[in-house]
Structure formats: C-alpha cells, structure tokens
Amino acid sequence: MNVSLYQAAAAMNAQSRWQELITENLAAGTTPGFCKRNVSFADVAAASPTTMNGANPANFMIPVAVTSTSFQQGQLRATGGSLDFAIEGSGFFTVQLPNGDRAYTRDGEFQLNAKNQLVTKENYPVLSDAGPVQLDPSNPGTVSISATGQISQGSDVKGHLQVATFSNPSQLSETDYGYLLASQPGMTPQPAAAGTSVRQGFLEAPNTSPTSEMSGLINTMRIYEANQKVLQMQNDRMGSVISALGGTS
C-alpha cells in the first residue's frame, strides 16, 4: 500500500475544501451579518492496523478538513435606514420560512412587503412575540425600535422582535441564503442575553477580512501544489517500478 499517495490525495482534497470556504467568504464580503466559515485540519485512520514483515501494527493517518462557523460580531455600520437593524451582542433575528419553520440570521436589512409586513430580502416574515411584524399603512407614524427590541409605529407598539440565543450556536445548521436552523435535538432558542441590544439605522458588517482571506487563498494554493507534486512523484516512482518489474523474466 502506497501510503504517501493516499495521504497526498487526501491533503489535496482538504485544501480544495479550504479554497471553497475562502471563496464563499469572499463572495459574501458585502452581505450584512454574514458569519465567516473557518476550516481546521485533523487526522483520521485510513485503514485498520496492519503488520508488515513482523513489525508492530501501524495506523496510517490521512488529513481531513473540518469546517466551522465563526459567530464573532462584525463591525456595526451606520446606514440611517429606518428598517435596518443590527444586534449588538449575541443572538439572531427570528424569521419564518415558507414551510412554516423558524430560521435565524444576523442580517437585519429588512423591508416591507405588499402586506406591509416586515420581511427579509427573501420575503421571509420577521417575527415578534406576537407573530410577523405587521405595520399599519394608514398610520403616518415612523417605525422605531428600542434597545430591547420593542418595535413601534408612532405611538402604537407592534411587539418585541424575537432575538434568540443558543447555548451552542456552532450546532446550528445552514440552509439557503445563509439562514440557520436549530434542527439538532436539544437546540432550544432562548431570549436575548443580558447586554444584548438592537440598534436601528445600523447593519452588521460581515466578520470576514478580504485581506486575510486572500492571504489564506494563496497559502492553500501553495500547499495544494506541493501535495500535487508529491502525488506526481509517487505516481512516477510506481510507474518506474512497474516498468522495471515488467521487463524481468
């Protein structure tokens, strides 16, 4: 078994996954509230222990890429938009998907739909403690929100935005358009933690850095090329051995 051949191929696969994540981070560099995707590397056993020439059994390990999401808060940027909200602290806005499930996001770039409901860019209703946030088209009052998430139209209170937190947000699973689902057992949303506040007229910038992402892209391309050379070298060596053995009588 040519272990180095498999290890080089596995390393190339892991680096390819890293490149994909960097591409996603760069593509979402202007999406409010986007949470950066990280990658780390681990070793896994490639096969059961084997014994060669009476030697002690050996485990052959290959590298794999392990992905995770960084929920570190991005910079809050003032927009002045009355329907632009940002969470200062931990937590997520709660929205309702077309199938009725709840999803979570840090992107507070909201708007009004034809029913005068507060919705996301994908037209998902934003939820308050009273259900979807419903505004009154006949009310000339401006929309305002308090630090605690109470949303009002003029003097009329329309409810409190559902800002949910999770004890282990890394277990949230991603769905379309970057929304997060609490699909794992025991993933129960909790009210916003003390110190968390909602800011009107602000949007949270992505917690990514184009400079660091480009630097990471260069590094992973170099590592990929190095392993590609190892793979080619091992392939050439095996070809030479086969050719030499094939010529013996």
CA angle 148, 151, 156 (to 5 degrees): 130
- 103 Cα distance to chain centroid: 14
- Please tell me whether residues 96 and 191 are part of one structural domain: yes
- Please tell me whether residues 82 and 33 are part of one structural domain: no
One pLDDT digit (tens) per residue for the chain, 249 residues: 566 677 777 777 888 888 988 998 998 888 999 999 888 877 666 655 555 555 555 566 777 778 889 999 999 999 999 999 999 999 999 999 999 999 999 999 999 999 999 999 999 999 999 899 999 999 999 999 999 999 999 999 999 999 999 999 999 998 988 899 998 888 999 998 888 999 999 999 999 988 888 988 888 888 888 878 877 887 777 777 777 776 655
Report the predicted TM-score, pTM, of the whole model to 2 decimal places.
0.79
Number of structural domains (the chain) is 2
Q: What domain range is 145 assigned to? A: 76-204
- Please tell me whether residues 200 and 216 are part of one structural domain: no
- Please tell me whether residues 63 and 94 are part of one structural domain: no
Distance (Å, whole) CA 154 – CA 86 = 21
Name the helix (H) or strand (E) containing 243. helix 210-246
- Please tell me whether residues 200 and 149 are part of one structural domain: yes
Could you give phi then psi for residue 169, rounded to 5 degrees? -60, -15
- Please tell me whether residues 23 and 46 are part of one structural domain: yes
- Please tell me whether residues 89 and 188 are part of one structural domain: yes
- Please tell me whether residues 113 and 193 are part of one structural domain: yes
- Please tell me whether residues 200 and 212 are part of one structural domain: no
Contacts of 197 (CB under 8 A, 6+ apart): 87, 88, 89, 147, 148
Distance (Å, whole) CA 204 – CA 117 = 22
